Amino acid sequence: MPPQTASRFLRGLLFALALLTSLAAHADSTLQLSSDKPPTQIADCLQQGIRRLKIPDDYVKRETAPDKGESIRLLNPVSAKTSLQVDIHPQGEGSQLQVDQNGIPLTPPWLRLIKRCAE
């Protein structure tokens, strides 16, 4: 392979690797939001929104923590793998939300739902 072709190939390969790394990092990232609402109110809002999206109940798991925090997870009932998790921790009179994407992109409808429930 001539040096110019090899150089072009390597640049293209490096660009592709950088792009894939960026996309993977974005999908694994977390989103954090603060809210004036208590965890229970936010979790109720998320559950109602999930029902409106027609996601079956067996794909949604809600748990209450000893500190009165809430967790809503979307999971595959066959594999028990979590795809999206929203942890809602009490913070003073309000809450702190942490959204773990677990390798999937956070789509605009999900982002709108989470932000609407936190507002």
How confident is the model over 28-59, as pLDDT tens digits?
557 899 999 999 999 999 999 999 989 898 89
> Does a structural domain hold residue 23?
no
Count of alpha carbons within 13 angstroms of residue 38, beta-carbon side: 6
With pLDDT > 90 as the criterion, what percentage of the chain qualifies? 50
pLDDT at 27: 45
What pLDDT, on the 0 to 100 scale, is given for residue 41?
96
Could you tell me the strand order of the sheet in which 70-75 lies?
30-35, 94-100, 82-91, 70-75, 60-64
Q: Residue 99: give the domain boundaries.
A: 29-118
Q: Give me the chain's average pLDDT, please.
A: 81
Give the number of other CB atoms < 10 A from CB of residue 83. Answer: 14
Q: How many domains does the chain have?
A: 1
Q: What is the CATH number of the domain that holds 56?
A: 3.30.160
pLDDT surpasses 50 at 75: yes
Per-residue pLDDT, 4:
62
**Res 1 pLDDT > 60:** no
Whole-prediction pTM value? 0.72
Is 3 domain-assigned? no
Rg (C-alpha) for the chain, rounded Å, is 19
In a domain, 15, yes or no: no
Residue 35 lies in a domain: yes
User: Which residues, including other chains, have CB under 8 Å from residue 20's CB and lie 6 or more apart?
Assistant: none
How far from chain centre, in Å, is Cα 1? 44
> Does 90 map to a domain?
yes
Residue closest to 103 by CA, chosen among 86, 76, 84, 88: 84
